[in-house]
Amino acid sequence: MLGEIPKVKIEDLPPVRGRYTEDAPLGAFGWFRTGGTADILFKPADEEDLIDFLKACPTHIPVTPIGVLSNTIIRDNGVPGVVIRFGRGFTDIEQEDETVLQIGAAALDLNAAITSARLGIAGLEFFSGIPGSIGGALRMNAGAYGTETKDVLVEAVYLDRAGQIIHAKTDDLNMSYRHSGAPSDAMFIRGIFKGEIGETPQIEARISEIKARRAETQPIKSQTGGSTFANPKPEELAAAKLPEDMKVWQLIDKVGGRGFKVGGAQMSELHCNFMINTGDASAQDLEDLGEEMRRRVYDDSGITLRWEIRRLGRPDNAHNVLLQ
């Protein structure tokens, strides 16, 4: 159990060129602006520093990579072990040929879209509609407005827990809707993406269109974390005798989820597949709210909603997860 893992101290860890911080306040920096700390936060100086750390770090110490925490709940009891936050050494965006970009895991999705537009590379505009960074997009095959990460990915590069560099072609990752088949311990460090030749003004116009649509339909000015649950699979909808194009927000709306609150957490009135922190929500409020929506939808239709929001840290033993 996560709660049984002893706290790690800096003296338990190998020397690095980057920076260690004990009891780092992760929750305060996440998009929900709530939650606990990391036992140790490690910001590697660069790829070599991270590799050296992984090779030397005792294997019994949990290691958890994070991005900008755009779609993550940091549980109130904190995250055990070492949390790795990718910084400037992982943000480079480099053009490899006319339509191919190599993008670091810590590069913001929006920056990937803007850079591709400036270079006249079309096809990556959808990244402007996804909060977060490229590493997270690779981990969950993020998508928006009809395009998924796998549609433009040529190769992903990641490190395993032992610090070995793995090059994986798109087919190797077995990507599907909001899912990557990469090992659970994979730490993505960069991806190679291929678009197509385009004209910068048209590409920028598409990005502006996506940004305007997000502003109209999503609570982007609130303390939120992006889509809470993935849309159900067609076979799940068929088994529930529901329309094949039914979206998860409609399932939540159907069971009274729009505007529903648990403590300081609320399902957005604007888009009820988004949770928001109204100002004083705990991480547990957010997780309990999500589980209540899962329970209601399951009771109503038999469909088990799948979390898109990542939940990290020691669970509160006083609360039981309603559905797995």
**Tokens 């077995």 identify what position?**
174
Q: Would you call 308 a catalytic residue per the annotation?
A: yes
d(Cα 207, Cα 114) in Å, to the nearest integer?
8
In the chain, where do the E strands start and end? 19-24, 38-43, 63-66, 72-74, 79-85, 93-97, 100-104, 121-122, 143-144, 147-148, 153-159, 165-169, 187-194, 196-197, 223-227, 261-262, 265-267, 274-277, 310-312
Q: Would you call 208 a catalytic residue per the annotation?
A: no
Q: Which residues contact 202 (CB under 8 A, 6 or more apart)?
A: 122
Q: Which of 75, 85, 139, 178 is catalytic?
A: 178
Structure tokens at 293: 């929506």
Q: Would you call 310 a catalytic residue per the annotation?
A: no
CB atoms within 10 A of CB 122: 18
Structure tokens at 39: 């036992």
Q: Which of 47, 125, 148, 308 is catalytic?
A: 308
Distances (CA, A) of 77 to 91, 160, 199, 203, 250: 30, 27, 49, 44, 33
Q: Which of 227, 268, 282, 301 is catalytic?
A: 227
> Which residues form the catalytic set?
178, 227, 308
